Amino acid sequence: MPLKATDPHAKILILLALWDIGAAQQEVNKGLLTKRIVPKGGKIGDFQEVLDQLITEKLMQISGKKVFLTAKGMEFLSAGIIDPQFEFINQIGAKTGNSLLKWIREMGTISNEGSSAVASNQSAAEEKPPSGLSTRINSYEEFKQVALDVYDNLNRDYNLDNLVPIYRIRREIGDRVTRSQFNDWMLEMQANDILQLQGGSVEDSAPDKIEDSITTKVSGLRCYAKRLVP
């Protein structure tokens, strides 16, 4: 059965489709989302109310013909999938079923009775966490606190004069978040006037350090973070 705009879980299913087409890593063509959610003979306008809600709640962004799944949207999607009240009220198509399977394999959690099962790759990461960190970060609020703690420690221990290389923050946090989550949440901290991400280049211009910095289409390469709040 195709997705219906009246489905009580339409938000979750649309966000799942966005994630599956790669919109959590980069902006993608809006047409790709339209193909995933609009049934044959339907039109994107049927879903406009739901899409407007997702945009208002900052779970997704639409700019021209591009669409993007925000970090807040990822949090909402993750919480929705493991919510015991989330269930399919109709038969689902192969695309939705495969999207859910992909989520389970890559993200590592799913719930049938309100509990979470951790995938083997996530368990391995927790058994051997980088830099002494032991658990995954599952929300923006948790990430914000961890990132600020890492920032303060690096700034103090290495006398960085309040300009901490982003690549060092990323490497300290390590596998507790995905690369895309790190980028999204660091940019969200900037949007919330907690950090200022600045340009320039890393010492010795090492390609791996540049890769572990943050690059956006709008602002370009950002290599350093400056804390704006006490």
Report the domain count for the chain.
2
Tokens of 124: 């391995």
Residue 42's pLDDT is 75
Could you give the C-alpha distances from 15 to 10, 51, 107, 173, 187, in angstroms and in order? 8, 10, 14, 26, 20
Using CA atoms, how far apart are residues 108 and 20, in angstroms rounded to an integer?
A: 15
Is residue 119 a part of any domain in this protein?
no
DSSP β-ladder status, 224-227 and 164-165: antiparallel
Same domain, 139 and 203: yes
Per-residue pLDDT of the chain (230 residues; tens, 9 = 90+): 345 545 567 888 888 888 888 887 778 888 888 888 777 777 778 888 888 888 888 888 888 888 888 888 888 888 877 776 766 555 555 566 566 666 666 665 444 333 333 333 333 333 334 333 447 888 999 999 999 999 999 999 888 889 999 999 999 998 888 889 999 999 999 999 999 999 887 877 788 888 899 988 777 899 999 999 77
Task: Give the structural domain span for 179.
Answer: 128-227
Using CA atoms, how far apart are residues 57 and 149, in angstroms rounded to an integer?
A: 28
Residue 151's pLDDT is 95
Neighbours of 135 (CB within 10 A): 11
Using CA atoms, how far apart are residues 41 and 64, in angstroms rounded to an integer?
A: 24
Residue 143's pLDDT is 94
- For residue 65, the SS3 value is coil
Is residue 190 a part of any domain in this protein?
yes
Tokens of 145: 């606190």
> 74, 30 in Cβ contact below 8 A?
no
Same domain, 87 and 137: no
Could you give the C-alpha distances from 172 to 131, 145, 148, in angstroms and in order? 6, 13, 12
Angle, alpha carbons 198-201-203 (nearest 5°):
125
Is residue 90 a part of any domain in this protein?
yes
Residue 201's pLDDT is 79
Same domain, 92 and 134: no
Is residue 118 a part of any domain in this protein?
no
